[in-house]
Structure 1
Amino acid sequence: MVLKVLALNIVEDGDSVEIPKVGYRDRVELNCQTAYNRSIVEKALRCGCFHCGSTFAGSDVTVWLSECDGEDSACCPFCGEDAVIVGTKRFPLSTALLSILFMEWFPEEYEAAKENFTNAPEYSNRDDYLRKGVPFRYERGEREFVGEVGLWVDSVFSASWNEEFDSLLPVREEELEFADAGGEVSVKACFDDEGCYTCEIKSASGNLLPYAPWSGRDQDLLLDLSNRYGDDLKGLIVDGGFGGRMRLYVEREAEAEMCSRPLDIEIDWMPGWDESQIEKVSKAYSEAMGLE
């Protein structure tokens, strides 16, 4: 039988969905649910695959693994893996639950996807990361990166430092709101009017993230690329939080526009040239540079 693999069906959880606290024994128990499960899957209104993150009705399963010592095991209609579960009373099915199990039982695939991705959805914190199923949604394309920098959570430290007592104060909850944020961001580094280095990293939603470049070398790279590409410089946060990483790229549309933009140059024309001669030389120059 040829398995027809469908496009993924990852359904994001609502904000009210609790992030399950799944211990090792719980993960093993849930993983055991993937075997000999035909009787529970066929009558389930909602199933999920923790290999690809898709959810679906039990009736959508059409391919089964024939087991010699028990019931058949369900194959996911979206990726073909035998990683289908229906959840339990203690751990109801959710995309967050599937994300946690994927990272536990398919760690090599997860790490490889995270290491090589070129696109990922925006997320504001760790809970949002799991609810949106971001571990399943790392995409790989033709995007070319121009650099990578380390990150640290600037506001957690600078906003919590008490100079009078030379010690750290307890971190307030609101300071940590975006301390694990990630996905695509805009990046701008410059010197302010007082000559101080500043770096702004904003999410696609416009939220200012509490990240700062890790080292002086990272600061220099961000400053150089910001000066070179301006608002077209973008970032892709690989890992949020303290010790995170951000890959840097330039939007392809912007690169194409820059290449096709006429050069703003001044030419000292030869004395006595009339307008027709100037126009002829300008046209030849444009053709040679591929601007026409």
Structure 2
Amino acid sequence: MTTETASFAARTVLRVGYGALQLERLHNRRDEAVALLRRAVELGVDHVDTAEFYGSGFANDVIRKALRPEDDVLVVTKVGADPHPGGHPPLRLAQRPEQLRTSVEDNLRSLGVDRLAVVNLRRLDTGPGLRPEGDQVVDLDDQLAMMTALRDEGKIGAIGLSSVTLDGLRRALPAGVVCVQNAYSLVSRDDEDLLRLCTAEGIAWVPFFPLGGAFPGLPKATDEPAVHAVAASLGVTPSQVGLAWLLHHAPNVLLIPGTANTAHLEANIAVGGITLDAAALRALDAIESRSNDLPIG
């Protein structure tokens, strides 16, 4: 059995949280989105990941309406990009220090809070996605100076990093880092050394695209025969096996799978109770890891 809770930002949270990106799919059904998030809380979720650029503020609006102070949910947001409605993708990079400050202020306003518990700095140095160009190429030290200033001012409680390299995390450690969000899955384990450093330093590892396959050309955990075989033996889905492997792989892994479907939400949260025995883990560990470092855009 996996450990159901883990330490994160001086708190203990359920290891399976909720990522709010998919709430955008319910943009014209706001009440359903609120009900979905309430159901997550009922199921024990106490860690929600969001950003102002998720649905151009829609996700944050739903979180503000759905969550209550007595729920005691740790809301983690991120900066480094801003909404760009109608754009492809619908966000624009915002890496400069003054843009980070503005993004923090935007998240404070849309979430309706005076302080953001954890803010991830999305660096875009690695993994699939956009790459910074021109004035959006900013030194990490300059960004960390702004993030620590915002923390000193009480606007944010703790700092995380996203799409960061091993060298970047090493440089950032003196600033105090509570979590790292990188693209990582059973089939794309480029960041094994980074994960080991996070484990040693007590930093939460929060993989996005935890099943891979976020963009065309990237591997998918659910395409692997070994994943299907383990799923069949346990009576669970291949997606659940891919997520359960992450929880078994390191004790500091926290999951933030997103969905707009209540049944999928319940299946995701049930992953915390799936046990993978030694034979299953050997079969899954033997799956070849392929690169996830694919620029998009």
Question: TM over 0.5, yes or no?
Answer: no
Q: So what's the TM-score if we normalise by structure 1?
A: 0.25
Question: Normalising by the residue count of structure 2, what TM-score does the alignment of the two structures yield?
Answer: 0.25
The structure where helix makes up a greater share of residues is 2
Larger gyration radius, structure 1 or structure 2 = 1
Which structure: greater strand fraction? Answer: 1
Higher relative contact order (CA 8 A, sep 6+): 2
